[in-house]
Structure 1
């Protein structure tokens, strides 16, 4: 397997990179964190490319790096993500809003667009990291919920479109995982007694959805529950 992992220098991306590499996959880590990404790539015998996922040319360059280094691409794990850091009231900040939408939504759209030619040739797979924030409301960060809901909608819609080409599209929807993205929310979650998800459980869910044959699924990963595709209710049709 040849895999491209965006946001692969840390957290869930890094853990998946290590696991796939241990199973023999060739990994290209794409990130803006050179200090963490380069040594990780060296550790797992992979390649590193600096990639701002909010830039279409950077995504295209990352895919090209994988194809050049290893001859193709089987998996695009579009995982990079950030919180917004602002709301819609007096704390609204246009630059923070653009950054959150650029990384969390554009990063998936641009990554999928850039990877599609190579994945069509290999009949490969796209996995996008959404969040439980993509299926429930998040009053603490409505902008984050908005872009993650968009990722869920993209996964469900794109999967049907790409099925005839043999390309699968899956979504990964973890709860609050033990990564740096928790930031200041970590202490609050601890005070509330809300369990934080070990990254290892997210990796196991990722492997299960990857090994299956489904497409257009959004797998929830929640402490104390067996991960599986979230069941969406059918919308009411016209009378």
Structure 2
């Protein structure tokens, strides 16, 4: 191995698959964790990596993916917590089942992923983690509960960094704008008709690499079509005192 060992959730397509291909070109070893067995296996074979069938909404699946990485490669340098789904409902058509289905992947899946990888990364004394949030997590979106989950991820990253940093582990968030992935395929024509630009997944993969290799932690970055990855200054909030 000449490059890092990277675990990518949601690596069977879109941003995850593009990230896997980018790391492989740079000599990295890739583990694809996804519930799409057919596509996930195909991407893993393409990049000469490992596929682990994973539902990120299940804590045990996340643990199994991390353990398989260490069993196969002996270490885990980088983690890309990328798995996500569009919102299944809003307030106008709300059901508890659809709401929970959205959150179990987009929010719980990241929490479980962190819970699974951090103990092993602490013991090895290094690691870099990128959480794929969204520009919807910095503003608003018609996809209400998708945006809610992404806002939560931004808060999670900003709040979860102190203890891992003491063990040489960095955690940052990347917030892409619209990306030309299968999740947006049915909306592609309408979005472009409204003058909105969709980034190529390969450009987001490049931004993932930028954030993974940045020495900082607790940062939130944005990336959009034609715009490179750039950090977002944290808001200034001061507690009242005196």
| TM-score using structure 2 length | 0.94
Question: Aligned residues, how many?
Answer: 237
User: How far 1:173 moved relative to its partner?
Assistant: 0.6
Name the counterpart of 1:32.
Answer: 35
Stretches (4+) displaced over 3 A: none
Is the CA contact (8 Å cut-off) linking 1:51 and 1:62 kept in structure 2? yes
Is the CA contact (8 Å cut-off) linking 2:128 and 2:171 kept in structure 1? yes
Name the counterpart of 1:210.
Answer: 212
Per-residue CA deviations over 1:161-217 (Å, capped at 9, x if unaligned) read: 321111100111100101012144323312211111111221121111122101111
In structure 2, the gaps of 5 or more residues are none
The residue correspondences of 1:77-226 to structure 2 (distance < 5 A) are: 77-89=80-92, 91-120=93-122, 121-138=124-141, 140-226=142-228
Name the counterpart of 1:49.
Answer: 52
Name the counterpart of 1:5.
Answer: 8
Distance 1:204 1:5 in 2: 14
Name the counterpart of 1:62.
Answer: 65
Distance 2:26 2:226 in 1: 26
Distance 1:39 1:85 in 2: 27
Is the CA contact (8 Å cut-off) linking 1:174 and 1:202 kept in structure 2? yes
Distance 1:160 1:202 in 2: 27
Distance 2:190 2:69 in 1: 40
> What is the SS of the residue equivalent to 2:188?
helix
Larger mean CA deviation between 129-138 and 203-212 belongs to 203-212
In the alignment, structure 1 residue 238 sits paired with structure 2 residue 221: no
Distance 1:211 1:72 in 2: 17
Is the CA contact (8 Å cut-off) linking 1:37 and 1:48 kept in structure 2? yes
